[in-house]
Amino acid sequence: MFDKHADETIEAEIWVKAEAQGLAKGLEQGHIEIALDMLADNEPVEKIVKYSHLPESKVLELKMSLANEMRK
């Protein structure tokens, strides 16, 4: 049996979830870019955490990544 309404509902739910995931990923990327800019300006980690809304562990990870790139 084929239930067109049920299939359309499932498809709509999938689209909504995918859109939410895409938005979240885009927001996170924006926060990362803010943190990278602030790190490049030698801002304190605490300030970067406050304004980028990233966890301290992520900011420290980005800081280490930048330091490693500078050594290359």
7-64 confidence digits (pLDDT tens): 888 889 999 999 999 998 999 999 999 999 999 999 999 999 999 999 999 999 999 9
pLDDT on residue 1: 53
pLDDT on residue 52: 96
pLDDT on residue 2: 61
**Pick the residue with more confidence: 61 or 5?**
61
CA proximity to 29, closest of 48, 66, 54, 49: 54
**pTM > 0.75:** no
Measured distance CA(58)–CA(61) in Å, rounded: 5
